[in-house]
């Protein structure tokens, strides 16, 4: 058993796994589950989101290390998307503009980072509102399929089948996860504050502005305000998704140029359009 453990996991990964289990089995059950201001600043929800993000990073890390290296770019883009898909799209675009990468292949990787956006959105919503999760789950699965198929086609260039060498690297970055959770919390507070100050207009404006950068926090702030039957919340969510798709498309064009944008933007817009239509349809049935 010891030999298997040494062969498959490093000492650092073992320690990270123990830390993650401690969060899940000890810290989380002992954390107060009560919002400190309206429907936001709930310590239990904040720690739950942190634990979920760390778990996602850990799974991505293990997949990247255990899968053959020909899949490394796929998994790397997926893992980067969980940190910031917007930053990943920009980084891949800069590589193309500088002539260090193929436009189509990097566009495929950028689309995979968008898969991470949808998955992380589901994870965050699952930690906040089950009623919204039921509405978002099926449309999100369809959106993921729409992203994955052209992404794999764009990344079809054959690569080595060797596995990544075993190194004693961390399974997750507590700093990065912390930054994401703090950003989520700050944006949720801002959107909630705007909704108190300006009413429905403030909620919508805050959601749209937040979605220009990362959509997770904006949507989390919306779903925490109430259930899917609220038409204002639904409008804010749909506008947030649309704004994020447009913002990310502009990001791709500016950083990566025409060929990169040509390979990335159509699928990005199509998957988000389908997602919006399906969400709207399901909430009106």
**Domain residue spans in the chain?**
2-157+171-283
Token pair recorded at residue 167: 């190194």
In the predicted model, is pLDDT for residue 137 greater than 60?
Answer: yes
What is the pLDDT at residue 196?
A: 80
What is the pLDDT at residue 74?
A: 82
C-alpha–C-alpha distance, residues 185 and 48, integer Å: 12
Confidence (pTM): 0.70
pLDDT averaged over every residue in the chain: 82
* Residues β-bridged to residue 68: 163
- The answer to whether 111 and 150 have CB atoms below 8 angstroms apart is yes
User: For residue 221, which of 193, 262, 245 has the smallest C-alpha distance?
Assistant: 193
What is the pLDDT at residue 64?
A: 65
In the predicted model, is pLDDT for residue 141 greater than 90?
Answer: yes
- The answer to whether 258 and 223 have CB atoms below 8 angstroms apart is no
In the predicted model, is pLDDT for residue 259 greater than 90?
Answer: yes
pLDDT in tens, 6-64: 556 777 888 888 998 999 899 989 999 887 877 678 898 888 878 877 887 777 677 66
Q: Could you tell me the pLDDT band of residue 166, with boundaries at 50, 70 and 90?
A: low
In the predicted model, is pLDDT for residue 226 greater than 60?
Answer: yes
In the predicted model, is pLDDT for residue 158 greater than 70?
Answer: no
Q: Could you tell me the pLDDT band of residue 218, with boundaries at 50, 70 and 90?
A: confident
Phi, psi of 157 (to 5 degrees): -55, 125
What is the pLDDT at residue 143?
A: 96
C-alpha–C-alpha distance, residues 186 and 188, integer Å: 5
What is the pLDDT at residue 4?
A: 45
What is the pLDDT at residue 2?
A: 47
């Amino acid at each position: 058993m010891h030999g298997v453990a040494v062969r498959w996991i490093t000492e650092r990964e073992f320690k990270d796994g123990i830390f993650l289990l401690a969060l899940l089995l000890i810290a989380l059950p002992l954390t107060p589950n009560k919002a400190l201001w309206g429907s936001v600043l709930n310590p239990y929800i904040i720690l739950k989101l942190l634990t979920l993000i760390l778990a996602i990073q850990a799974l991505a890390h293990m997949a990247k290390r255990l899968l053959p290296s020909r899949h490394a770019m796929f998994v790397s883009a997926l893992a980067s998307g969980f940190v910031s898909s917007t930053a990943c799209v920009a980084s891949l675009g800069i590589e193309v503009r500088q002539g260090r990468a193929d436009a189509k292949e990097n566009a495929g990787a950028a689309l995979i980072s968008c898969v991470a956006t949808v998955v992380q959105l589901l994870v965050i919503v699952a930690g906040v509102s089950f009623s919204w999760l039921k509405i978002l789950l099926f449309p999100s699965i369809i959106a993921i399929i729409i992203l994955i198929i052209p992404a794999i086609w764009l990344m079809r260039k054959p690569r080595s089948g060797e596995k990544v060498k075993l190194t004693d690297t961390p399974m997750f970055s507590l700093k990065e996860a912390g930054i994401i959770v703090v950003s989520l919390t700050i944006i949720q507070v801002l959107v909630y504050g705007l909704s108190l100050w300006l009413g429905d207009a403030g909620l919508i404006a805050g959601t749209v502005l937040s979605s220009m950068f990362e959509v997770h926090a904006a949507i989390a702030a919306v779903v925490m305000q109430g259930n899917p039957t609220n038409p204002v919340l639904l409008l804010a969510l749909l506008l947030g998704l649309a704004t994020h798709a447009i913002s990310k498309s502009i990001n791709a064009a500016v950083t990566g140029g025409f060929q990169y944008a040509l390979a990335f933007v159509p699928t990005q817009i199509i998957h988000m359009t389908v997602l919006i239509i399906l969400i709207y349809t399901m909430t009106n049935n």
